[in-house]
């Protein structure tokens, strides 16, 4: 691995981190760093404000997310870790790409429909344009691979369409057509209350999710109370086909234990939830407790976190600025040299 691959991904600082963010995104970001690939990870604060964010809470959530990345094993010496608003290329390229993307394309985005809800007229223009800024995040680095959870697949397809249209319109071979990396057993961690909904920071019920900052008792309680059916775990994986909640807990176990759902079923097939849930709770606590303790330690020194992300922003700008300048040039803008 390594070579010409360049990985980019982003996470919004819009509240606490969930187990879904950790297993679906950050844990895999660390694995890519460990594989020796060039990795760039961005705290997308400009994306967060597409819905209202209290300024003090946004600052806190930005630092907490940085702490989460660091605690999970992102090493600022080997990965670039920074917040989006410190590198102006994102917003600038975002504008150019907003002029490339078509309203018809954005109208198809299911995340906009979900987030805007019934009252679309009251949604921000930024929420609608969100995927063009996301395309800019990726294309400003000529990133080739983008690890995300399942919910971001449509946005990455749009990024590909924008790159292709830019290249065609201007007759260049400039922006790469990115590969989504949606892999592993935890690309869609579901709510603990409803196996058909994804686990989300914004779910009104805190019992639906595990937050990385939850203490051991809270984690154990949430798993104990997780919705399931009355049947024991099946002897083979097919037996989970129509059992979304049971399947979700097996997937979470597999992801936390770095194993496969098949292996979990080999160990726990036939077991009742009264046996499986405490085992899962122990595993989750063992994996997450060191992480939340390290996050708390890092959060005690916000100035150090700010220093780390500012240094990351400087490295990020060194890659993005020349790409932005070439973009301006292709488009026909006169720039001071």
Residues in contact with ligand TRP, counted by CB under 6 A, come to a total of 14
Based on CB atoms, which residue is closest to ligand TRP, 76 or 149?
Answer: 149
Based on CB atoms, which residue is closest to ligand AMP, 18 or 327?
Answer: 18
Cα separation, 336 vs 205, whole angstroms? 53
Least distance from ligand TRP to the Cβ atom of residue 136, Å:
9
Is 201 one of the annotated active-site residues of the chain?
A: yes
Choose, from 5, 165, 201, 315, the residue flagged as catalytic: 201
**Residues within window 110-129 making contact with ligand TRP, judged by CB under 6 A:** none
| CB atoms inside a 10 Å sphere around CB 269 | 15
Cα separation, 304 vs 123, whole angstroms? 36
| Beta-strand relationship, 6-11 and 38-43 | parallel
DSSP annotation string for 287-303 = HHHHHHHHHHHHHT-HH
Contact 69, 15 (CB under 8 A): no
Least distance from ligand AMP to the Cβ atom of residue 81, Å:
14
Contact 330, 170 (CB under 8 A): yes
**Beta carbons within 8 Å of 114's beta carbon, 6+ residues apart:** none
Based on CB atoms, which residue is closest to ligand TRP, 83 or 228?
Answer: 83
Is 198 one of the annotated active-site residues of the chain?
A: yes
Position among 38, 45, 64, 137 found at the interface with ligand TRP (CB under 6 A): 137
Position among 65, 72, 87, 146 found at the interface with ligand TRP (CB under 6 A): 146
Is 115 one of the annotated active-site residues of the chain?
A: yes
Least distance from ligand AMP to the Cβ atom of residue 332, Å:
34
The number of angstroms, rounded, from the C-alpha of 303 to the middle of its chain's C-alpha atoms is 25
Residue 289's Cβ-count burial label (10 Å; 0-12, 13-18, 19+) is middle
- Closest by Cα among 216, 210, 276 to 243: 276
Least distance from ligand TRP to the Cβ atom of residue 201, Å:
10
Residue numbers of the site for ligand AMP (CB under 6 A)? Answer: 11-12, 20-21, 24-25, 148-149, 151-152, 186-189, 198-199
Structure tokens at 68: 């989460």
Residue 163 touches ligand TRP, criterion: CB under 6 A: no
Residue ranges binding ligand TRP (CB under 6 A): 8-12, 44, 47, 134, 137-138, 146, 148, 152, 155
Active site residues: 115, 198, 201
């Amino acid at each position: 691995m390594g070579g010409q691959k360049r990985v980019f991904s982003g996470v919004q600082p819009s509240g606490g981190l969930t187990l879904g963010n950790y297993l679906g995104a950050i844990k895999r970001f660390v694995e890519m760093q460990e594989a020796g690939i060039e990795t760039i990870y961005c705290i997308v604060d400009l994306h967060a404000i597409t819905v209202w964010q209290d300024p003090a809470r946004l600052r806190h959530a930005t630092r907490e997310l940085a702490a989460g990345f660091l605690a999970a094993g992102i090493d600022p010496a080997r990965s670039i870790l920074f917040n989006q608003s410190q590198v102006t290329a994102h917003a600038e390229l975002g504008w150019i790409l907003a002029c490339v993307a078509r309203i018809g394309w954005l109208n198809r985005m299911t995340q906009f429909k979900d987030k805007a809800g019934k009252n679309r007229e009251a949604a921000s223009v930024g929420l609608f344009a969100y995927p063009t800024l996301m395309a800019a995040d990726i294309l400003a680095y000529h990133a080739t691979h983008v690890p995300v959870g399942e919910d971001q697949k449509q946005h990455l397809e749009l990024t590909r369409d924008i790159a292709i249209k830019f290249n065609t319109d201007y007759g260049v071979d400039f922006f790469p057509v990115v590969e989504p990396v949606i892999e592993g057993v935890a690309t869609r961690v579901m709510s603990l209350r409803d196996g058909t909904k994804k686990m989300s920071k914004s779910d009104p019920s805190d019992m639906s999710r595990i937050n990385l900052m939850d203490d051991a008792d809270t984690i154990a309680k949430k798993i104990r109370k997780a919705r399931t059916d009355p049947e024991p775990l099946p002897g083979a994986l097919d037996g989970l086909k129509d059992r979304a909640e049971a399947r979700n807990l097996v997937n979470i176990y597999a992801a936390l234990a770095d194993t496969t759902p098949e292996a979990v079923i080999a160990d726990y097939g036939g077991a009742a939830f009264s046996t499986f849930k405490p085992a899962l709770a122990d595993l989750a606590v063992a994996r997450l407790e060191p992480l939340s303790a390290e996050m708390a330690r890092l959060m005690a020194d916000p100035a150090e976190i700010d220093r780390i992300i500012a240094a990351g922003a400087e490295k990020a700008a060194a890659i993005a600025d020349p790409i932005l300048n070439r973009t301006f040039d292709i488009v026909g803008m006169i720039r001071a040299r």
